[in-house]
């Protein structure tokens, strides 16, 4: 991993975020409602599992960089799909911004950090 004082906090931020998002897919009533709104109720558990695996991969990446690179690339791809869903259901730019920000963050981690 290329060393930088900012990279470790970015990795931790993304990992913790996706742990929370992933857990939310399994326990949050609000997340269930959101996935219904997206038209993706059947994929909620799958997406939550991918988010949790991605978060774990980011943390493993501190010791095994290629795992972190694959995890951050996978999370970036997942967020690209999230942005696409938001556009498809005609969410506002403001509602789409978090998914886009996580897309950019994880793409940066995959390309520039690992």
Is the C-alpha dihedral spanning 110, 38, 85, 99 positive or negative? negative
pLDDT at 95 over 90: yes
pLDDT at 100 over 80: yes
pLDDT at 2 over 70: no
* Dist. CA 107–CA 114, nearest whole Å: 11
How does residue 71 score in pLDDT terms, banded at 50, 70 and 90?
A: very high
Closest listed residue to residue 109, CA positions, set 85, 73, 62, 83 = 73
Question: E strand or H helix at 92, and its extent?
Answer: none
pTM of the entire predicted model? 0.93
Contact of 25 with 48, CB cutoff 8 Å: yes
pLDDT at 6 over 90: no
Q: Which pLDDT does position 5 carry in this prediction?
A: 72
Q: Which pLDDT does position 77 carry in this prediction?
A: 98
1 CB-near residues (< 8 Å, 6+ apart): 7, 61, 62, 65, 68, 113, 114
* Helices and strands, number each (H, E), in the chain: 5, 0
Q: 18-63: per-residue pLDDT in tens?
A: 999 999 999 999 999 999 999 999 999 999 999 999 999 999 999 9
The predicted model gives 70-78 an average pLDDT of 98
């Amino acid at each position: 991993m290329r060393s930088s004082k900012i990279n470790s906090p970015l990795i931790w931020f993304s990992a913790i975020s996706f742990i929370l998002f992933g857990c939310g897919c399994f326990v949050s009533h609000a997340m269930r409602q959101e996935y219904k709104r997206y038209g993706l109720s059947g994929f909620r558990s799958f997406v939550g599992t991918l988010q949790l695996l991605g978060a774990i991969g980011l943390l493993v990446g501190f010791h095994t960089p290629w795992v972190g690179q694959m995890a951050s690339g996978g999370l970036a791809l997942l967020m690209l799909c999230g942005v696409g869903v938001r556009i498809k259901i005609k969410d506002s730019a403001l509602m789409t911004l978090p998914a886009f920000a996580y897309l950019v963050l994880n793409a940066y981690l995959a390309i520039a950090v690992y």
